[in-house]
Amino acid sequence: MNAEPERKFGVVVVGVGRAGSVRMRDLQNPHPSSAFLNLIGFVSRRELGSIDGVPQISLEDALSSQEVEVAYICSESSSHEDYIRRFLNAGKHVLVEYPMTLSSAAARELWELAEQKAGPLEEERFGFPAFSGISRLTWLVSLFGELSLVSATLEQRKEDQYMKMTVCLETENKRPLSWIEEKGPGLKRNRYLSFHFKSGSLENVPNVGVNKNIFLKDQNIFVQKLLGQFSEKELAAEKKRILHCLGLAEEIQKHCSPEK
């Protein structure tokens, strides 16, 4: 992305909560990937008029506008599938926050739709914990390769606003892994890990400093895809990993919510 951009992709941001606000900030600041992008406006259910000079536009205008070529989906998880489908059907490129969808079947369908249309490129609100926490599952798959499900349980005390999901996984060479998601009053957003290997144990991730600008790093990768700078092999590997993780999340949900 060192070359001067021959063109700029018009972008609309859908949803202006924390993620959407950071996306808009990064699009407006002078970063290498931002040079290829032009923020056209934002879509929100709330009547906001404008934010820092960026105009609010309707969803219908965003879908029909020839200026808008890219949509950043930063809304609630439960709305991702519908927004992705609508923008893909309108011929737009799509960047979406985790999780892509709340079912693996929908993700596969939308991925096929993207390949056809766009070319290179609380539980009710946020989905079951295996989906809302899918970034942690993706991290484990990135570290240890494809995983298989051994067991999964979900403990809930709605009157106390408490939830604990415990998942037992297995690597391809039959090594056990456990993943626990726990939420409740007084519980902070922390990550604890404990890995035990033949050569020793790891209780903490090496300190590499604060992970700043994670949304911007994601944007840089997205622009590289728009410019065709990822190989078919890299794109296929990413697709396989994401669909594997979504399939695992769906399997976990079924184990925790058996049909009566």
Query: Is 256 assigned to a binding site?
Result: yes
Was 93 annotated as part of a binding site? Answer: no
Q: Is 23 annotated as contributing to ligand binding?
A: no
Is 18 annotated to bind a ligand? Reply is yes
Query: Is 196 part of any known ligand binding site?
Result: no
| β-strand pairing of 147-157 with 50-51 | unpaired
Identity of the residue numbered 197: F
On whether 205 is known to bind a ligand per the annotation, the reply is no
CA distance 33 to 5: 10
Tokens 């519980």 correspond to 187
Is 142 annotated in a binding site? The answer is no
- Torsion of the alpha carbons at 8, 15, 82 and 12, rounded to the nearest 10: -10
Q: Is 236 annotated as a binding residue?
A: no
CA dist 107 and 241 (Å) reads: 12
Q: Is 201 annotated as a binding residue?
A: no
Residue 170 near residue 181, CB atoms below 8 Å:
no
Does 46 count as an annotated binding residue? yes
The Cα–Cα gap between 9 and 62 comes to 13
What is the three-class DSSP state of 83? helix
Is 199 annotated to bind ligand? no
Residue 78 assigned as binding residue: yes
Provide the annotated binding site: 16-19, 44-46, 77-80, 98, 244-245, 256
Tell me the binding residues for NADP(+). 16-19, 44-46, 77-80, 98
Binding residues for Zn(2+): 244-245, 256
